[in-house]
Amino acid sequence: MSASPSTTAPPAATGAEAPPAGGSRGAAKRRAPISRRGERLVGYTFMTPWIIGSLVFTVGPMLWSLYLSFTDYHLLLGGDWVGMANYTAMFEDPMFGRAVKVTLLYVLLAVPLKLIASLAVAMLLTQSRRGIGFYRAAFYMPSLIAMSVGIAIVWKALFSGGGPQDQFMSWFGWEGGGFIGNPSVSILMLVLLSVWTFGAPMVIFMAGLLQVPSELYEAAEVDGAGRWHRFVHITIPMLSPVIFFNVLMETVHAFQLFGPAFIIGGTAGGPAWSTLFYTVRIYALAFVDLRMGYASAWAWMLVLAVGVVTLIMFRAAKNLVYYAGEDNR
Amino acid sequence: MMRNPHGLRRRSLLTGASATAVLAAAAACGEDGPAGTADDPVEISFEWWGDDARAEITTEAVNLFMSKNEGIKVQTNFADFPTYWEGMTGRMASQDLPDVFQMDYSRLRQFGTTGLLLPLEGVVKTDDFREGFLETAKLDGKLIAVPAAGNTLGLIYRSDWFEAHGVAAPAPGYSWDAYAADIAKVTAGLGEGKWGGGDWAGQYHFMELWLRQQGGSFYTEDGKALAFDQAKLAEWWQTTAALYAAGDVPPVATTVEWVEGGLVQDLLASEIGWDNFMPGFSPTVEANGGTLALAAPPTLDPNNLGLYLKPSMQFVISAATEQAEASAKLIDFLLGDPEAIAILGTSRGIPATNAGLANVELDAASQAVIDYEASVSQYLTTPPPAPPAATGAIEVKFGELYQQVQYAEMTPVEAAELFFTEAETLLANEQ
């Protein structure tokens, strides 16, 4: 480590310096303008692999499932057109209410907690400190592995009876045992898993925080504003577009939680349906009960619900989100 | 809007497209001609469910088969039971089943009625099966599977613990009430954290046993409906209520965390179960310093134990196979070749063929299973017809709803009502 730089570094350095001198300037030579139409054609040509992929693997299956949702399609026996029957049956299905309840509870718990955690950590990590890069990577790490099967299994072990969570909480007089076997708290396992994986919103918050002009803070400080006031009156409003984006993304994701719930609770959403997430129920309907048509209707109801929620959020955002530079609106 | 019950019969709207939409399954097929020589072998695939130990011996037997039949190459694969069936369900839809695979009685109708299985009459050898075995391999009179081994229900118990706490060895005719009393006694004797027996009410097979003891059955003869009413189910789900409330059987919060099961984990003194599981449990229990024994399950009627001989596993051939001959050869080999039988042992249960029984090497636990089956042979009655295709899903629902009862989220009556709604929907869906 000490000897090699003296021999290898100089050539590398000169090599790196050379291009900016001649190369990049030379490349900036103006090209003859290609016609708009030709340019468009080239663009689409480059996109064909993606277009084909999304048609075959996303759009096609989606349209097919939309069709299936109007049939009583059985995975093995096929099905007939039944019109709206699946959609009306859903509202008489006792499992529908349960699945919706579990999912909403999760969204309401996980989204705010995760955003608060990620914002708090982002604020810590935007300070300039020694080794901040390491901390940023370390805090981002969990979100890289969180949706893996391995972590879900680790989670299961952490929250089993007599496991770390049970032991720890027992010191404080907890008698509920492991979360795994206790339906009244088992959903918290998944909330915690979600909060722990705040990496994605954290990075976005960090980018947002670094954009806030430091003059604002300086001016406020001169006026005698404390930390709290600066946070509430500068950080939050300046960050509101980013907050809005994160709320939206996290909410949409939370509605679709599947992997960890499936591994921890199984197709039955155990214990006692307390982790019977909407998507888990869709899976069970489709692949245990083989009722593909009905499961498709459930899936489209989720699409509809998430769409409505998103729409409401956009409406609400009009009054809540502050876009700098649009003051006169 | 209501489902139209007189609508057109649903039939294969199955297309490759739907399958692609559902699962991306990798196809594996040998396109060789049917002949097959050492230079140009035909290739067949063979899959089963089970653990690593079973995989090891099965692979060994398959290798022996390949060395004896140089023109045939066998691709093998295995998974645990739930994963296996999840995979097979998707592959069933995409019509991409292995040439030879292991079948369970509960799924036989699902696969059999959709034309996915090759009729086996005259294809495989059928002259050497033990009495009563071949009946359960037929669907509506047509042979579509061959039994690899058989089993029946029994009471698997820790004879050392039973004895130590003053409980006599259960004998045929042992009543449910006597069993419950013994569980309470053993639980009290064992102390904190161990139990005299498991909660039996969550298993539909055990309810079937209980219904058969009353001359009933779980499904109607045609397999299109449940053959009992809600009150009966609520009654069944209360058969362990007193034990559960008293803490004589383990609470659900504990059992949901068990991975290997109470007997193996040295926590449970008895459990109703399939008798062929006993040799599997036995080594671990012995390592824990205990002894396992088998007895007839508890009954309502001393003259009718409700028992029948069920195939624990079957082998089937996919109707889509291009290598029926080679596939049949493999099955004949696994069930009839003395060397293969010696290798396979009792991993799949007590062999279903006479050749199998004559050539298998039995350890004490497997011998105990054979002895047990002989001891209850006078009580074995006609097996029920292969259960409806939806039975896999119904079984899951049965367990889920009983869990609601255990957690006191629902009363037995409420749970029974919901079970009927769900089961009837599932059964109607198959018709």
Q: Which residue of B has its CA nearest to A158?
A: B257
Residue A271 to residue B110, Cβ atoms within 8 A: no
Mark whether B70 and B178 lie in a shared domain. Answer: no
Identify the segments of chain B with pLDDT beneath 70: 1-38
Which residue out of A67, A76, A276 would a mutagenesis test of the B interface target, given it has the greatest number of B Cβ atoms within 10 Å? A76
Mark whether B174 and B293 lie in a shared domain. Answer: yes
- DSSP codes, B122-154: TTS--TTBPTTTGGGGEETTEE--EEEEEE-EE
Residues of B in Cβ contact (< 8 Å) with A184: none
> Which domain-ending residue is among B379, B395, B421?
B379
Q: What percentage of chain A carries pLDDT values higher than 70?
A: 88
Tell me the per-residue pLDDT of A69-85, one tens digit each, with 9 for 90 and over.
999 998 878 889 999 99
Beta-sheet pairing, B72-79 with B42-49: parallel
Residue A11 has pLDDT above 80, yes or no: no
Specify whether the backbone of A224 is left (phi greater than 0), alpha (psi in -120 to 50) or beta.
left
pLDDT at B22: 36
Using a CB–CB cutoff of 8 Å, tell me whether A175 touches chain B.
no
> How does residue A7 score in pLDDT terms, banded at 50, 70 and 90?
very low
Query: In the structure encoding, which two tokens stand for residue B111, read together?
Result: 């696969």
Using a CB–CB cutoff of 8 Å, tell me whether B8 touches chain A.
yes
Residue B257 to residue A181, Cβ atoms within 8 A: yes
Residues of B in Cβ contact (< 8 Å) with A76: 14, 92-93, 110, 114, 389
Using a CB–CB cutoff of 8 Å, tell me whether B374 touches chain A.
no
Mark whether B213 and B160 lie in a shared domain. Answer: yes
Mark whether B298 and B317 lie in a shared domain. Answer: no
Tell me, yes or no, whether B51 lies in a domain: yes
Mark whether B258 and B403 lie in a shared domain. Answer: yes
Mark whether B182 and B213 lie in a shared domain. Answer: yes
Distance of alpha carbon A328 from alpha carbon A293, whole angstroms: 51
Mean pLDDT of A140-149: 81
Q: Which residue of A has its CA nearest to B24?
A: A57
CA-wise closest residue to B346 among B332, B359, B329: B359
Distance of alpha carbon B210 from alpha carbon B198, whole angstroms: 16
Residue B253 to residue A271, Cβ atoms within 8 A: yes
Tell me, yes or no, whether B323 lies in a domain: yes
Tell me the per-residue pLDDT of A22-56, one tens digit each, with 9 for 90 and over.
444 444 455 556 677 888 899 999 999 999 999 99
pLDDT at A327: 54
The neighbour count for residue B317, using CB atoms within 10 Å, is 29
Distance of alpha carbon B425 from alpha carbon A293, whole angstroms: 13
Place of tokens 């039971």: B81
Q: Which residue of B has its CA nearest to A159?
A: B257
| Number of domains composing chain B | 2
pLDDT at A39: 86
Positive/negative CA dihedral, A125, A126, A132, A138: positive
Distance of alpha carbon A292 from alpha carbon B362, whole angstroms: 46
Residue B429 to residue A290, Cβ atoms within 8 A: yes
- Bridge partners, B295 (sequence order): B155
pLDDT at A23: 43
> How many Å lie between the alpha carbon of A320 and the closest alpha carbon of chain B?
41
CA-wise closest residue to B214 among B82, B304, B333, B318: B304
Residue A84 to residue B1, Cβ atoms within 8 A: yes
Distance of alpha carbon A328 from alpha carbon A313, whole angstroms: 23
Using a CB–CB cutoff of 8 Å, tell me whether A78 touches chain B.
yes
Query: What's the CATH code of the domain at B256?
Result: 3.40.190.10
Tell me, yes or no, whether B23 lies in a domain: no
Helices (H) and strands (E) in chain B, counts: 17, 11
Which residue out of B11, B13, B85, B107 would a mutagenesis test of the A interface target, given it has the greatest number of A Cβ atoms within 10 Å? B13
Backbone angles phi, psi at B333, to 5 degrees: -65, -50
Residue B35 Cα distances to B27, B72, B112, B372, angstroms: 22, 9, 28, 45
What dihedral angle (degrees, nearest 10) is formed by the CA atoms of A312, A317, A319, A320? 130
First-to-last alpha carbon distance for chain B, in angstroms, is 19
Mark whether B269 and B300 lie in a shared domain. Answer: yes
Tell me the per-residue pLDDT of A291-300, one tens digit each, with 9 for 90 and over.
999 999 999 9
Mark whether B269 and B157 lie in a shared domain. Answer: yes
- Residue/partner pairs of A55-61 with CB below 8 Å, 24 or more apart: A56/B20, A60/B17, A60/B21, A61/B20, A61/B21
pLDDT at B28: 35
> Where are the alpha helices (H) located in B113-238, listed in sequence order?
159-164, 176-190, 204-213, 230-237
Distance of alpha carbon A48 from alpha carbon A317, whole angstroms: 36
User: CA B304, B110, B426: angle at the middle one, nearest 5?
Assistant: 80
pLDDT at B334: 93
Q: Which residue of B has its CA nearest to A295?
A: B22
CA-wise closest residue to A292 among A130, A117, A145, A77: A77
> How many Å lie between the alpha carbon of A260 and the closest alpha carbon of chain B?
17
> Residue B301, SS3?
strand
Residues in chain B: 431
Residue B92 to residue A268, Cβ atoms within 8 A: no
CB B310 within 8 A of CB B383: yes
Residues of A in Cβ contact (< 8 Å) with B392: 288
Tell me the per-residue pLDDT of B93-112, one tens digit each, with 9 for 90 and over.
788 899 999 999 888 888 88
Using a CB–CB cutoff of 8 Å, tell me whether A54 touches chain B.
no
pLDDT at A16: 41
A64, A77, A267 member nearest B114 (Cβ): A77
Distance of alpha carbon A257 from alpha carbon A197, whole angstroms: 13
DSSP B117: B
> How many Å lie between the alpha carbon of B2 and the closest alpha carbon of chain A?
6
Q: Which residue of A has its CA nearest to B399?
A: A268
The domain of B230 spans 153-308+386-429
Continuous segment of H or E residues that includes residue A202: helix A199-211
Mean pLDDT over the full length of chain A: 85
pLDDT at B131: 80
Residue A76 to residue B426, Cβ atoms within 8 A: no
pLDDT at A268: 84
What pTM was computed for the model?
Answer: 0.79
CB B262 within 8 A of CB B273: no
B114, B399, B404 member nearest A76 (Cβ): B114
Tell me the per-residue pLDDT of A113-134, one tens digit each, with 9 for 90 and over.
999 999 999 999 988 888 888 9
Backbone angles phi, psi at B294, to 5 degrees: -120, 140
Q: Which residue of B has its CA nearest to A181?
A: B253
Mark whether B177 and B267 lie in a shared domain. Answer: yes
pLDDT at B21: 36
> Where are the alpha helices (H) located in A28-163, listed in sequence order?
36-54, 60-68, 85-90, 94-125, 132-145, 149-158
Mark whether B331 and B211 lie in a shared domain. Answer: no
Mark whether B264 and B408 lie in a shared domain. Answer: yes
Tell me, yes or no, whether B27 lies in a domain: no
CB B47 within 8 A of CB B101: yes
Distance of alpha carbon A28 from alpha carbon B259, whole angstroms: 66
Q: Which residue of A has its CA nearest to B408?
A: A272
Residue A64 to residue B13, Cβ atoms within 8 A: no
pLDDT at B219: 95
Q: Which residue of A has its CA nearest to B256?
A: A181
Tell me, yes or no, whether B9 lies in a domain: no
Beta-sheet pairing, B42-49 with B100-103: parallel
Tell me the per-residue pLDDT of A184-216, one tens digit each, with 9 for 90 and over.
899 999 999 999 988 889 999 999 999 899 899
- What is the 3-state composition of chain A as percent helix, strand, coil, each rounded to the nearest 5? 70, 0, 25
Tell me, yes or no, whether B14 lies in a domain: no
Mark whether B304 and B317 lie in a shared domain. Answer: no
Tell me the per-residue pLDDT of A304-322, one tens digit each, with 9 for 90 and over.
999 999 999 999 998 888 8
First-to-last alpha carbon distance for chain A, in angstroms, is 59
Query: In the structure encoding, which two tokens stand for residue B151, read together?
Result: 């089993």
Tell me, yes or no, whether B270 lies in a domain: yes
Distance of alpha carbon A148 from alpha carbon A125, whole angstroms: 26
Q: Taking the mean position of all CA atoms in its chain, how far away is CA B317?
A: 19
Fold of A94-276+308-320: MetI-like fold (1.10.3720)
Residue B399 to residue A268, Cβ atoms within 8 A: yes
Place of tokens 């018709």: B431
- How many Cβ contacts (< 8 angstroms) between chains A and B? 111
What dihedral angle (degrees, nearest 10) is formed by the CA atoms of B53, B56, B59, B60? -120
pLDDT at B38: 66
Place of tokens 């495989």: B124
Which residue out of B6, B8, B10, B265 would a mutagenesis test of the A interface target, given it has the greatest number of A Cβ atoms within 10 Å? B10
Tell me, yes or no, whether B1 lies in a domain: no
A77, A177, A181 member nearest B10 (Cβ): A77
